[in-house]
Amino acid sequence: GAVVSQHPSRVICKSGTSVKIECRSLDFQATTMFWYRQFPKQSLMLMATSNEGSKATYEQGVEKDKFLINHASLTLSTLTVTSAHPEDSSFYICSAPRGQGAGNTEAFFGQGTRLTVV
Amino acid sequence: GEDVEQSLFLSVREGDSSVINCTYTDSSSTYLYWYKQEPGAGLQLLTYIFSNMDMKQDQRLTVLLNKKDKHLSLRIADTQTGDSAIYFCAEISDTDKLIFGTGTRLQVFP
């Protein structure tokens, strides 16, 4: 089946540094990828929609300058948490839908990245 | 707006059946999903159902869909301790966004 690979799975960084998280679709092309954030014991919150070849679309309340998204190719999207602070510590998950539109779509998830900012 | 709701906790005895319920609001969703998340791990797709189906069975899993009431359920037969996890239902919007429920924490005790 289709696989989405997310890297790294865990990262610890110092306050003020930037962290890049990669999301790759391994056996299909994804013109769109989604980035989610999950707080402890809470559901997943959609942060942004990553669009290949154009700017990402951010959900309300998500700082685009803090969470930089680059969708450089049809198989790779990156999320960079800039100037990270302890409150950015969270579990970040990417997903990529396969298919055109909701009529023929399955969504595949990366393994998630546990970010801890100290 | 789009909203997906689930009960937060479910506790069952090993060997019994578990039923996790979900209600959603977007009647145009063509797919509805169930995901499993084990502690500290990512999401695992368990099963999904097309909106034109009432039921789907996959080994120990049975998904029931009541489109009129916008109600989705996941039944796990012969629940095992390894089934202990958080279960999320999700609907897909017409822009391919997944809208997740709040998650149901299933605890299986011996």
Q: B78: buried, middle or exposed (CB in 10 Å: 19+, 13-18, 0-12)?
A: exposed
Nearest CA in chain B to A50: B97
CA B106 to chain centre: 11
Residue B88: the pLDDT is 93
Residues of chain B neighbouring A109 (CB-CB closer than 8 A): 35, 42-45
Output the furthest CA–CA distance in chain A (Å, rounded).
Answer: 44
Query: Each residue of A47-99: pLDDT tens digit?
Result: 999 989 889 999 999 999 999 999 989 999 999 999 999 999 999 999 888 76
Nearest CA in chain B to A111: B42
Q: How far apart are CA B39 and CA B41, in angstroms?
A: 6
Q: Do B88 and A44 lie within an 8 Å CB cutoff?
A: yes
Q: Which of B28, B96, B102 sits opposite A105 (nearest CB)?
A: B96
Q: Which amino acid is at B39?
A: P
Distance from CA of B57 to the nearest CA of A (A): 18
Residue B26: the pLDDT is 77
Residue A103: the pLDDT is 42
Residue A28 reports pLDDT greater than 50: yes
Residue A96: the pLDDT is 87
Q: Does A12 touch chain B if contact means CB atoms closer than 8 Å?
A: no
Which residues does chain B have with pLDDT short of 70? 1-2, 40, 96
Residue A41: the pLDDT is 67
Residue whose token pair is 């969703």:
B29
C-alpha angle A111-A113-A116 in degrees, rounded to nearest 5 = 155
